[in-house]
A and B are shown apart, each in its own frame.
Chain A
Amino acid sequence: GDSVTQMEGPVTLSEEAFLTINCTYTATGYPSLFWYVQYPGEGLQLLLKATKADDKGSNKGFEATYRKETTSFHLEKGSVQVSDSAVYFCALSLRGNNNDMRFGAGTRLTVKP
């Protein structure tokens, strides 16, 4: 079935380090892809999205490119901050399917000063 697999955590980085969180998907159609972030004690927030192949989503220094050939949507940031510590979820939504979102298991990121 349609699903998302993301890199297991936890991930611990020092401030200003480069971040990559891997995400790959399996889908029968042409999904939209998302990264959500969950800060401690808060609900999920949309971080970025891409709706078709080769689109790049970006927000707050994070970016991810929709790669159809590798069925991937890896999240990257060039220089992380302590405030980026959170759980990151990759997700897909199948078009015309009532916005049915499928989430990955989440990757916990801790950034140390």
Chain B
Amino acid sequence: EAGVAQSPRYKIIEKRQSVAFWCNPISGHATLYWYQQILGQGPKLLIQFQNNGVVDDSQLPKDRFSAERLKGVDSTLKIQPAKLEDSAVYLCASSLDVGSYNEQFFGPGTRLTVL
């Protein structure tokens, strides 16, 4: 079974530029998550989708971050414009469904550096 795919693996941009990250979850997984992992910290949930609907985006900085999952499969996270403090690893995860017993499977992450 293929795992969660993310691209690119690394991205370096200057502040005020835009960037987009892509995630393809495990086939059949209804729930998709985007996390931000700042160096030295644990992952922090940014947004959670159930199929193509948003379940929780309470911690997403909506003035600059946006995410979509139009067909309920793959997803894109965008930052526009980027700030220095956005430097982090962006992790995508998926699970079969919502519920605390459903294991979340993580992709390798995209490491973003904002200069």
Q: Helix, strand, loop or mixed for chain B's interface?
A: loop
Given A43-B91, A43-B106, A101-B45, A93 and B40 touching (CB < 8 A)? no
By size class, the interface of chain A is 20 to 34
**Smallest Cβ distance from B41 to chain A, in angstroms?**
5
The tally of CB-CB contacts under 8 A between chains A and B is: 62
Mark contacts of A62-87 with chain B using CB atoms, 8 A cut-off: 1 yes-contact digit, 0 otherwise.
Answer: 00000000000000000000000000
Q: Are B108 and A43 in contact (CB under 8 A)?
A: yes
Q: Are A98 and B108 in contact (CB under 8 A)?
A: no
For A101, what are the chain B residues with a Cβ–Cβ distance below 8 Å? Answer: 43, 45, 104
**Smallest Cβ distance from A110 to chain B, in angstroms?**
16
A90 closest partner in B (C-beta): B42
Verify if B102 is at the interface (C-beta below 8 Å from A).
yes
